[in-house]
């Protein structure tokens, strides 16, 4: 159920109503102003990006290096040394990097096979 509150501009509130109420958390008459402010503050802090020192650069030459990076990232996130959002970003980018490495490997192998076929064809002509 939608919140029944009508804002000052005449538009309805788009939030979901809380259980057993016609209003959302912020428009409910059962919630004090202090509770609302505390909830807003917590929400803002939860969505804030934590600024941390830049991470050292890494050299990645293959899948083994990606695995080492992921292992280090997992341990840093678990110990609280690395923000979860940064850890997640590293994980996503690592997945893309592994795909790119696989494609490059396949392309290289196809090129070798094509060269071998071409050499055999020219040899018999």
- What's the whole-model pTM score? 0.53
Report whether pLDDT(116) > 80: yes
* Position 50 confidence tier, pLDDT thresholds 50, 70, 90: low
User: What phi and psi, each to the nearest 5 degrees, are found at residue 19?
Assistant: -60, 135
Report whether pLDDT(39) > 70: yes
3 exposure class (CB count in 10 Å sphere: 0-12, 13-18, 19+): buried
pLDDT, position 46: 58
Give the whole-angstrom CA distance, residue 77 versus residue 60. Answer: 20
* Position 121 confidence tier, pLDDT thresholds 50, 70, 90: confident
């Amino acid at each position: 159920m939608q919140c029944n509150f009508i804002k000052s501009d005449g538009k309805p509130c788009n939030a979901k109503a809380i259980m057993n109420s016609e209003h959302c958390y912020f428009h409910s008459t059962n919630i004090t102003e202090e509770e609302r402010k505390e909830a807003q503050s917590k929400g803002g802090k939860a969505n804030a990006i934590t600024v941390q020192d830049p991470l050292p650069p890494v050299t990645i030459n293959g899948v083994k290096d990606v695995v080492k990076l992921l292992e280090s990232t997992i341990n840093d996130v678990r110990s609280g040394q690395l923000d979860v959002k940064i850890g997640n970003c590293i994980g996503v980018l690592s997945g893309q990097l592994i795909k790119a490495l696989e494609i490059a490997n396949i392309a290289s192998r196809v090129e070798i096979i094509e060269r071998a076929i071409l050499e055999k064809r020219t040899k018999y002509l």
